[in-house]
Amino acid sequence: MNDSYEEKDWVDTTSAFAPAILGAAAGVLMAEVLSDSARRPVGLSLACLGLAALAPALVETVVHKVSGPGTRRGSQRTLQGIRDGGLPARDISYIDEELGVG
């Protein structure tokens, strides 16, 4: 197998095909080659397919806007990841007893 194999990024792939599909839908809807009864279903089906191809990019954009590193939620998640550091939580309840607090 090839060592330089990279996992496909479907968001980029579908975003690249979406304009072509939407353009084909517009062409079918505007063309006079097909009858009205055939043109509308084909054009609308292609338009729906193009919008479905854009859905992953739209979802990724919304997720990034809501919880990206520049947002409050993203900052909290980053800070919590730094604080946790992948280590299990330690029991430090004995400190209160040693200090005479509580």
> Pick from 19, 16, 42: which is nearest to 29 by CA?
42
Has residue 57 been placed in a domain? yes
Q: Tell me the whole-structure pTM to 2 decimals.
A: 0.55
pLDDT at 3 over 50: no
Output the pLDDT for position 6. 55
Residue type, 55: A
Residue 4 belongs to a domain: no
> Quick check: is 97 in a domain?
no
Give a yes or no: residue 26 inside a domain: yes
How sure is the predictor about 69, in pLDDT bands with cuts at 50, 70 and 90?
confident
Q: Is residue 56 part of a domain?
A: yes
Report CA torsion sign: 37, 16, 60, 71.
negative
Range of the domain at 57: 10-83
Question: pLDDT band for position 7 (50/70/90)?
Answer: low
Give helix 36-67 / helix 10-30 axis angle, nearest 10°.
Answer: 150
Residues 6+ positions from 78 with CB-CB distance below 8 Å: 69
Task: Give the C-alpha separation, 67 to 73, whole Å.
Answer: 5
Structural domain count, the chain: 1
pLDDT band for 8, please (50, 70, 90 cuts): low
Report pLDDT for 57: 87
* CB atoms near residue 98 (< 10 Å): 7
Higher pLDDT, 69 or 5: 69
> Which amino acid would we find at residue 19?
P
- Region 92-96: what's the mean pLDDT? 75
Q: With contact defined as beta carbons under 8 Å apart, do 64 and 70 qualify?
A: no
pLDDT mean over 10-32: 85
